[in-house]
């Protein structure tokens, strides 16, 4: 049974992804209730209700879940335990198993390897001795990443030579980690798909992503020919991951375009920064299709709405140029209402379509 308009969608996480989800939900006649611990929430500003409480506050979470018709999340670094508990008594989509896997780089790599996806050579690392042994096996260059809580390039250290092991271990704070062999790739891209309760999958065009200082700078569709040549294979892998999780909602998988095909880097069980262009650049946005999927509505078309589209993030003070950006009649400006422009902070984005 689809969830009818006027129902309330609970969103755990209060950032810009929640904001754009809430705006898409409003378009379809739903109300949103945001659950987030921060004092300022870009999502809560555009939603009907807001619970401000810690992610591990079981009582507040239960109260929140009882007041909504379905729970979803826009942030994956929330403790999976309380969400799994909620899912026993309330509708939660995507199911928390996706969250548990995506939160732990070792669990994620084991899971996707088991589905036949290709990943960088990797090893779990719990001590400096483990790291030295893993380096001896995998070789340098390599990247050491914390198993949990890393994002936008944080919690990572590059190891150019075996002698760098101790420094890298210190850089990531000696936390449980994964060592990955360095993948030689020409381009990075993501595959974003929506999967409905009935198993129907809608996938957007492969998206070419450029990172600067570990943070997404721009996303472009259609991607370059190197990516396009392997996009079908990547889409098939993404569909396998979604089916194995019996996933409902939008799922993002990031790939490296290696010379001999896609290498899966990581997955996010949510809408993704590299899909912001879909608001204007696709017939149906990632946000709308996430809402449609979790509410049991038919998925909308993921076809491009123009011959090409590029999204650029506005990081820190780049967002101060809003007047200049708006002087370009082709620019679609999105600002997230964040009061303080710190370096590295995503303040907004701008999308331009190629007619
Ligand atoms: P991640 O947080 O895993 O997405 O890593 C951040 C960025 O570091 C990626 O977008 C890549 O540019 C780079 N990177 C991560 N893992 C690898 C790898 N195994 N080989 C080469 N580059 C990598």
Counting residues of the chain whose pLDDT is more than 70, the rounded percentage is 99
Summarised one tens digit per residue, pLDDT across range 4-39 is 999 999 999 999 999 999 999 999 999 999 999 999
Predicted TM-score of the model (pTM): 0.97
Q: Mean of the pLDDT values across residues 273-301? A: 98
Residue 154 Cβ inside 6 Å of ligand 1? The answer reads no
Assess contact for 151 and 344: CB atoms under 8 A.
no
Residue 342 Cβ inside 6 Å of ligand 1? The answer reads no
Of 229, 293, 295, the C-alpha closest to 262 is: 229
Summarised one tens digit per residue, pLDDT across range 142-157 is 999 999 987 666 789 9
What's the pLDDT score for residue 154? 79
Spell out the residues 6+ positions from residue 335 whose beta carbon is closer than 8 angstroms to its own.
Answer: 314, 319, 322, 347, 348
Of 159, 177, 155, the C-alpha closest to 168 is: 159
- Relative to the CA of 184, which ligand 1 atom is closest? 21
Quickly list DSSP for 6-39.
Answer: T-EEEEE--SHHHHHHHHHHHHTT-EEEEEE-SS
What residue owns the CA closest to ligand 1's atom 19?
Answer: 182
pLDDT at position 213 over 80: yes
What's the pLDDT score for residue 1? 84
CA of 256 to the centre of ligand 1 (A): 8
What's the pLDDT score for residue 149? 85
- Relative to the CA of 209, which ligand 1 atom is closest? 10
What's the pLDDT score for residue 274? 98
pLDDT band at 214 (very low <50, low <70, confident <90, very high): confident
What's the pLDDT score for residue 150? 76
Of 225, 312, 235, the C-alpha closest to 277 is: 312
Report DSSP state, residue 187. E
What residue owns the CA closest to ligand 1's atom 9?
Answer: 214
Residue 252 Cβ inside 6 Å of ligand 1? The answer reads no
Q: How far apart are CA 44 and CA 50, in angstroms?
A: 6
- Relative to the CA of 152, which ligand 1 atom is closest? 2
Counting residues of the chain whose pLDDT is more than 90, the rounded percentage is 95
Q: ∠ CA 224-227-232 to the nearest 5 degrees?
A: 130
CA of 156 to the centre of ligand 1 (A): 9
What's the pLDDT score for residue 355? 84
- Relative to the CA of 185, which ligand 1 atom is closest? 21
Residue 211 Cβ inside 6 Å of ligand 1? The answer reads yes
Ligand 1 pocket test, candidate residues 256, 263, 268, most atoms within 8 A of CB: 256
What's the pLDDT score for residue 152? 64
pLDDT at position 267 over 70: yes
Q: Mean of the pLDDT values across residues 285-304? A: 98
Average pLDDT across the chain, whole number? 96
Residue 144 Cβ inside 6 Å of ligand 1? The answer reads no
pLDDT band at 223 (very low <50, low <70, confident <90, very high): very high
pLDDT at position 303 over 80: yes
Summarised one tens digit per residue, pLDDT across range 338-350 is 999 999 999 999 9
Q: How far apart are CA 326 and CA 122, in angstroms?
A: 45
Terminal CA-to-CA distance of the chain, rounded, Å?
Answer: 39
């Amino acid at each position: 049974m689809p969830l009818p308009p006027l129902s309330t969608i609970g969103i755990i996480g209060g950032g810009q992804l929640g904001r754009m989800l809430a705006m898409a939900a409003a378009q379809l006649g739903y109300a949103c209730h945001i659950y987030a611990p921060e004092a300022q929430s870009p999502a809560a500003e555009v939603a009907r209700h807001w619970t401000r409480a810690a992610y591990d506050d079981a009582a507040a979470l239960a109260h929140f879940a009882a007041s909504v018709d379905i729970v979803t999340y826009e942030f994956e670094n929330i403790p999976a335990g309380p969400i799994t508990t909620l899912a026993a008594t309330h509708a939660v989509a995507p199911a928390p198993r996706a969250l548990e896997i995506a939160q732990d780089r070792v669990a994620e790599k084991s899971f996707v390897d088991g589905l036949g996806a290709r990943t960088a050579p990797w090893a779990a690392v719990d001590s400096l001795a483990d790291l030295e042994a893993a380096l001896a096996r995998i070789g340098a260059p390599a990247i050491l990443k914390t198993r949990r809580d890393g994002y936008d390039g944080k919690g990572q250290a590059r190891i150019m030579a075996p002698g760098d092991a101790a420094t890298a271990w210190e850089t990531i704070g000696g936390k449980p980690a994964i060592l990955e062999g360095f993948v030689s790739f020409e381009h990075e891209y993501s595959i974003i798909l929506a999967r409905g309760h009935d198993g129907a999958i809608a996938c957007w065009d492969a998206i070419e992503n450029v990172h600067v200082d570990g943070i997404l700078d721009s996303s472009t569709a259609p991607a370059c020919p190197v990516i396009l040549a392997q996009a079908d294979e990547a889409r098939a892998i993404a569909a396998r991951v979604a089916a194995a999780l019996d996933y409902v909602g939008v799922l993002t998988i990031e790939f490296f375009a290696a010379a001999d095909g896609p290498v899966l880097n990581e997955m996010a069980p949510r809408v993704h920064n590299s899909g912001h262009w879909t608001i204007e650049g696709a017939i149906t946005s990632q946000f709308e299709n996430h809402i449609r999927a979790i509410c049991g509505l038919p998925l909308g078309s993921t076809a491009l709405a123009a011959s090409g589209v590029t999204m650029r993030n506005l990081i820190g003070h780049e967002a101060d140029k809003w007047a200049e950006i708006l002087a370009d009649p082709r620019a679609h400006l999105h600002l997230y209402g964040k009061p303080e422009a710190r370096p590295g902070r995503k303040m907004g984005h701008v999308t331009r379509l190629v007619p």
